[in-house]
Every structure is written in structure tokens, then in C-alpha cells.
Chain A
């Protein structure tokens, strides 16, 4: 019973004294009249005195009953019949304590779990000394905390300080575990399992692990009552690069409402970045319905701190834990692109990198500030590469020896290399010096116009795009079409040696079937070869509308700034896969409370798993080689409150019946056994109202 109702009920009971007070006051407030025929008044009064007194008493009783009945009805009392099982009494009682996440539900000033513990303590005190008691916790997995015994203190100590978990839990296996915990012990009164649960539908939805428990009686203790608390939850978050807005992110989420509060209402969801509220959206929510919302926001490019955004459902409800989702974001960074111009020219548009420079000036990458530098081949060495993330070798014939070695080391260390072909490229030197990082050996240029075959003596287009590859995934690509790139005309290409086992991926081909863009992963780095020129000598790619987006995507990919979907979220209790960066070892995961726990290694050494136990933002620590432990920002993830546990819909009686082990008896639940008195009280109040009118009319 809600305390608010209780308070209102007691206030109403006080009001029941009002008729008595009114009666007493009215006795004092009589008019005084000197009246000659008082003798007749006296006679009449004597005649009617008995009737009047009866009538006054009747009115007093009727009015008092009317108000008292209303006040009691407000408290919604129930009549609880003495149960036969209670009369005989069980010989052993197992308490099944629901520890699912929904037990965090707030009802009044207590959580349901706190109510459950209080009820457990209360019942322990009431149990007879010859009744064995035990305790099983119904969390993600059933856990017998105390086997049936006669020491109540063990049970009290077991529940002392416990809290419910955050994982979804089903009661059926826990009930079987509780029944199994009795063992062969039996007594004249039998075995009773008392289930202390919120009795919300999700916990009783599955009966997969339902066992058998003949001879055991189950008793449901309803801790919430008929009125399911009102709850709204945030779930199913998604984060993706905003389509058409290179530097913006789109956040999608779902708001779901359950429980009471039948009237639809507006729910406000805020997007926070740190403590700053960036945006708010108001969504109409209705019980049992889901509604989706979206935020799109452009973040600053030079914010290098480790940030996280947060979606927050404003307003109060019964379960605050599912009202906030934090979203780990990739920290902002500086991205330096080093361009080696292999064919400089005094005439700007004839320069090899003229069009590339124009594109680089326009590039906007998410949370990154892009800068570039153009140097000549002879300048390339370890120094210029020190803070470079992406190196572009544009039609470079050759490099100094130290430069070539630096390029190979650069790629292996995690750098990104884009090599484009051209008439200056020295195939032999390139194969010999850069071969370890290239996707394949170059064979030489092939100009289509020189071919004798008239059928293929046409300019080549691009096709067979690898639409799923991050480079094209952000360009709204299909296999046969990428906006702005499908009409590229190329007349000369660089051929690359075919290789079945080379660790490479062809991202797009020319229409004659030869590769146009090929990628190879080397260590932590990547190398991509464009098998035509970056200027207009061999192709008109650089003047096509798709050139700028392609350069942007290539840079993002080579710099490791993939804007594709990131595995940032997982539900509590669900294994989360952690992709271990090359060269790193994952050490541990820190939960939101700062507690560290090791990860689990699987078959794939590059993937480890971790099962979060609490909702919130988790950080991952690792180390490169034997270096100092560092936080791996990219591996941060948020553990979501289980969506199923946010559903606070009461279970049906059928679900309760089906959750108990087969062969077990079900003691009538309190909810079912209780005879609701308040409708009768309302009826009584109505009758008193009518009766009062009748008494008043009869004068």
C-alpha cells in the first residue's frame, strides 16, 4: 500500500469525526425564541423525543460511516484469509530472493529489494523454531546462500548488505534450485518456497530451465501490488557518422514506457557532453509503446581530451538506472598528412599534387584537425615522418635509402600509406624498397590507347566497389555505383601482380577487371595503392565530384579514424568483445565504480571478452609490449541496463503458475487470495449517502 494513500486514509478517518463535531456544535447553535404555547412544544417534544434521538443517532452513524468508509476505501484494504498451510505450518522454508535488476525499482522511499529483505526479516521472526529456513538468491544464476537449517542468524547475515544485481534474471531455474536445496529432508508440514519478487513479467517469461519439485509448495509474495510503477527507459543506442556531414555524429535511441501512468506523456531526452547540455528532444511516450529519437551534433575538431556524450531521460520514474546512457567518443586528435610530390611543376595545375592539395584543404574529419605538408622525395626521412599519420607518395620515382626504410617502418608502426601511380614511378625501385608494405608487386603502366584490341581501347571506368569497406561505407556505396566516382575515365593504369595469397583487399576495380585501389594491412598500419595517377595525366579522377569524399575517406581509414559503427555498447550480463589492438595486451577492465576485473581470452588472440556486471562506462587498460599500462580509449564501452528489466509490467497469474517446477503445489498468492475490501467500502459509502438523504427527508 502506498504511503501516500495510507496518509490520505488516516486523514480521512480523522474526518470521520467531523459529523460528531458538527452535531455537538449544532446543539449549541440553537435559536432562542420566547413562545407562549410552550406547553404544546413540550408535549410534542415528549412525543417525538425518542424518534428524534434515534434519528439523530442514525444520522450521526450514517455520516460517520460514510466518511470512514470513504477513508478506508482510499487505503484500499484487503482481507487476507488464514491459509490452511499456515495453520499446519511447513517443516522447512526456502526463501527465494529475487535479485534481478528490476528489484532496484523504487516504490515510495524504498526499493523493491529493500522491501523484500524487510519482508524476509519479518517472516524469519515469525517462523517457528522447529522450522528449517534457507535462502537462495535469484540473480543471473541461482545461488544457494544458506542451505535449510535452524540458524536464522545465517540467513540474516547472508542478506545483510546485499544488493540486487543488474543482470536480467529468470525465476524458473531459481525456483528449481530452491526446491532442490531441500534435499531429502522432510517434515510433517512439508516444504515451502517463499518467493520474494517484484513479479514483473520479464522475470517469468522464460520457463526453459524449469525443473520438477513434487511435494514442494510455492508461495508468491507480491512486493509491488497491482499498480505497476511507472517507468521510462532509454535503450538501443546507436552512434554513427552523420550522413552527408563529415564531422557530425548521429545518436539514435529508443524510449520505452511501462507500468502505470496510463495517460501518454511527453518525455524529454537530453544530449550532454560533459556537463554541458547540447540538445534536448521531447518525445511522446505511451505505456507499452516505444518511440525512437535522434540527435545529430557536430563536435569540435581539436578536443583532445577523452570525452563521452550522454543521453539522459529527464524526469523521475521508478527505475533511474535505465534513464542514462553514456557514449564513449573517440578523442579529438591532430592529423598530419605528409605528401611527397613526385612530379612537381611550376605550372600549378600540372603539378602532381595540385588537385590533391585542393582536396586536403577541404577535408573535414570527425574530431580531428587535419594539416598537411608537401615535400620532395629527397626530403623524406624519419624526421618528417615523426608526427605523420598518413603518408602520400604521389608518383614518386624513388626515395633516398633512409627514406624508403623510414616509410616501411612508418607503416609497420601503424602509419597509413597511400601510393599513387604515374609516369615518374620507378616500378623496380618501388618493388624492391617498398615491397614489404605494398599489397603486391607493381608490373608497370599500361595505356589503353596503345592496345591494338579496339574493344578495350576505351577509357576505363570504376566498378565493383567494395561497398562494405570503411572507405566506401561512408560514401553511400553499392557494388556498382558510388556517387561521383562512377563516371571516372582512366586511360592509363598501373598493373599489379596477381596474388591469391597476398594479404590484400581490392577496394575497387577498373572496368577491365584490373585492380584500381588495393589495400594491405601491415602490422598496425595500412597501405593503399591507387593504380592510376592523382593528377590528370592518366585519369580524370581528380576532377570528379567524388574525389574529395574519396580522399577524406581514405585519410580517415589510413589514420584509423573509421567512422563506421563502433561496438560501444553491450548489455549487463552479456559478453562484450574487445578487439585487441596489434602489439597490445589487454590487462583489465575497470567498471564505473573503479573496480578492476580481468578479461577472458578466447580462441582468437585478437579478441577478448568481458561480461559487465554493472551498468555504466567501462574503461580498458592494456600495455604495448612490456611498456607501462595505458588506458585504451578506443576500447571504452558502456554497459546498458538490461532492456528486459526495464519492463515493469506485472506478470499474469498464468505466468506465475507456469514458472514453478512441475509437480509443485502453488499456495495462493497474496495478491490472488486477498479479498479486496475497498469496492465494498465504496458501496457502503454510497449506501450511507443515500440513507442519509432518506433520513433527512423523513421529517
Chain B
């Protein structure tokens, strides 16, 4: 099998019209690299010992260890049950931005997030995990609860495929609605640009995390938003409001980079404090790596 590097693979992936094909190409690429997800391993193999603390399930007590050391240890396993994965994708208008300031061919943030979500769907189907999806804007646009039936995954893909960027970002309302359906020890993946996300939404993600939900945040941004490569006089229009401003772009570039850098750093440090896994996902970077980051355990 011919292996493509991630950049070439990205060109191939985003040249495909079918969302499912895109996702499959990514998942094949992921598999071809033999990077098996720890989180998505199917066995209940031993992982580590921990000292017993009141409240631990006594069935996990390692009596043999007690016999040898005269101390109570609890046996911990990598996984024991099917994983429940909830993917929340930002479907607001701001996700429609597809850059192009430097003339490069680019895809929109929505297409990127949509593709990553679809890849996760295929991964879950391949591993038999349950998966639910929510596309949000102005509260909630569409969604399906987590299930592991094979036809469910097809419906999830269809939901992702049918949605497009519209409306304003409202992650807080979406999370409030969805939090009851998110079981403990499940995985929550949030894909958004987080440009209009308020502190309440982050706090709610932190609360989910404290309930044992593994929260993975993928901040999808265009390279233009990161590097501000505009030249000359530019009139910027707000994508989700009626704000507009005309500036001599090169003159404000430095200030913008400082402001935006501070914003990203603020988000990252907040996420770190809330024990969220945070990944910056520029749309011009390879989708396989992006899926790998979301699926792996790093990011904190």
C-alpha cells in the first residue's frame, strides 16, 4: 500500500466530495501508520495498581498483592467497556471562513471540522464504540444520541453531511442541553473555533471533566486567523454580526497577532486548569494528525 505523507493526504482528502470517503481515507491513513488508539483498545488488559481508597470497588482488590505486601491495591484496566463518544461540532457562520488571503487553496473551518468528526465516526464504527453527534449553532441545530448500531453511524454521517455553517455560536446552551446525555467515563470531543465561546461554556466543560468525562477540545482555525497575512486596505465584516472595520492591514498586523496570541494562550491555560485536552487544529495541517491528536491521550 502506498503511504502518503499528511500534507499530500490532506489534498487527497479534501478533494473528495463524499464526507464518508474523506473520513475513510483518513482512518485508513491512521491505520496504515499503526497508531492504535489507547482509548479505543478492545481488551480489558491490566494497566496499573493503585492504593485502595474507601469507595473503590472491592471487586478490583488484588488479593495476591495483598498476600505479598500486606497492603490493599486496586487493579486498574485499560478499558473494560465499550467507549461512548460524543462529538459536538460548531456549525455557526464563523466556521464558514475559508481564508484565501494569500491566494492558497483552502477549505473552510466547517469542512475541516466536519471531516474530522466523520473520521471519528468511522473509527468508532470500526471499534464497535457508541457515538453520538451534535452540530450546534443558535443552541442546537441537529444531533443524534450515542449508539453503536451500524446503521446509526450512517445516520450520524448523514447528519454531518447535511449540515452547513449558519447562525451564531452558542456552545453553552448546547452543552447544557447535552450534558445529561453524556455519561461519565465517556469521551467528549468539541470541535469549534472558540472565537465566541464564553467562560460559562468552558466552565461547563470543566464540570463535565470533573464528572469523569474525558473532554477533548479541537480549536479549528484558519491560517489567516493565526497569521493575519492581509495586505493593503481591508474592510473586515463580522461573520456573525454587523460589525465592520476598515484598516490598513499591515499596520495592525503586529497588534492583531499579539491580541490573538493572548487569546489563544488564555484559552490554552484555562483548559489546562480545567484538565481539558486542548488541540489547535489549523485547517492547512494534515487531517490524519489532527484525528490522531483527538484520539490520543495527549493535549494537556
Main secondary structure of the interface of B (DSSP, over half): mixed
Determine if A36 and B225 form an interchain contact, defined as CB atoms under 8 angstroms apart: yes
Does B195 touch A at the CB level, under 8 Å? yes
Does B154 touch A at the CB level, under 8 Å? no
Does A84 touch B at the CB level, under 8 Å? no
Determine if B246 and A37 form an interchain contact, defined as CB atoms under 8 angstroms apart: no
A41-B256 in contact given A36-B193, A36-B239, A52-B248 (Cβ < 8 Å): yes
B-facing residues in A521-557 (Cβ within 8 Å): none
Does A31 touch B at the CB level, under 8 Å? yes
> CB-CB < 8 A to A26: which residues of B?
233
Does B7 touch A at the CB level, under 8 Å? no
Determine if A33 and B233 form an interchain contact, defined as CB atoms under 8 angstroms apart: no
A-facing residues in B217-276 (Cβ within 8 Å): 224-225, 230, 232-241, 243-248, 250-256, 258-260, 263
Determine if B252 and A33 form an interchain contact, defined as CB atoms under 8 angstroms apart: no
> CB-CB < 8 A to A55: which residues of B?
251
- Stretch binding the partner chain, chosen from A43-51, A139-147, A254-262, A382-390: A43-51
Determine if A35 and B239 form an interchain contact, defined as CB atoms under 8 angstroms apart: yes
**Residue from A29, A41, A55 with most neighbouring chain B CB atoms (10 Å):** A41
**Distance of A60 from chain B, by nearest CB (Å):** 13
**Distance of A408 from chain B, by nearest CB (Å):** 111
State which of B224, B233, B239 has its C-beta within 8 Å of the C-beta of A38.
B239
> CB-CB < 8 A to B52: which residues of A?
none
Does B97 touch A at the CB level, under 8 Å? yes
> CB-CB < 8 A to B243: which residues of A?
38-39, 42
A34-B237 in contact given A40-B259, A41-B245, A42-B245 (Cβ < 8 Å): yes
Determine if B252 and A48 form an interchain contact, defined as CB atoms under 8 angstroms apart: yes
State which of B97, B250, B254 has its C-beta within 8 Å of the C-beta of A35.
B97
Residue of B nearest to A51 (CB): B251
Does A27 touch B at the CB level, under 8 Å? yes
Determine if A36 and B260 form an interchain contact, defined as CB atoms under 8 angstroms apart: no
> CB-CB < 8 A to A34: which residues of B?
97, 236-239
State which of B193, B233, B254, B258 has its C-beta within 8 Å of the C-beta of A30.
B233
**Residue from A30, A32, A55 with most neighbouring chain B CB atoms (10 Å):** A30
Determine if A48 and B255 form an interchain contact, defined as CB atoms under 8 angstroms apart: yes
Residue of A nearest to B251 (CB): A52
Does A699 touch B at the CB level, under 8 Å? yes
Does B283 touch A at the CB level, under 8 Å? no
Determine if A33 and B94 form an interchain contact, defined as CB atoms under 8 angstroms apart: no
Determine if B256 and A33 form an interchain contact, defined as CB atoms under 8 angstroms apart: no
Determine if B255 and A33 form an interchain contact, defined as CB atoms under 8 angstroms apart: no
Does B101 touch A at the CB level, under 8 Å? yes
> CB-CB < 8 A to B263: which residues of A?
40
**Distance of A50 from chain B, by nearest CB (Å):** 11
A47-B236 in contact given A36-B193, A36-B195, A38-B245 (Cβ < 8 Å): no
Determine if A35 and B251 form an interchain contact, defined as CB atoms under 8 angstroms apart: no
Chain A 49-69, CB within 8 Å of chain B: the 1/0 string?
A: 001100110000000000000
> CB-CB < 8 A to A51: which residues of B?
251
**Cα(A48)–Cα(B247), bound, Å:** 10
**Distance of A395 from chain B, by nearest CB (Å):** 113
**8 additional contacts (CB under 8 A) given A34-B238, A36-B193:** A32-B234, A38-B239, A40-B256, A41-B245, A44-B258, A52-B247, A52-B248, A52-B252
Give residues in A with beta carbon < 8 Å to B.
26-27, 29-45, 47-48, 51-52, 55-56, 699
- 8 closest Cβ contacts across the A-B interface? A44-B255, A36-B94, A30-B233, A44-B256, A44-B252, A35-B236, A30-B235, A40-B259
**A/B interface sample: 13 pairs, CB < 8 A:** A33-B237, A35-B97, A35-B236, A38-B243, A39-B195, A40-B259, A44-B252, A44-B259, A45-B245, A47-B259, A48-B255, A56-B248, A699-B254
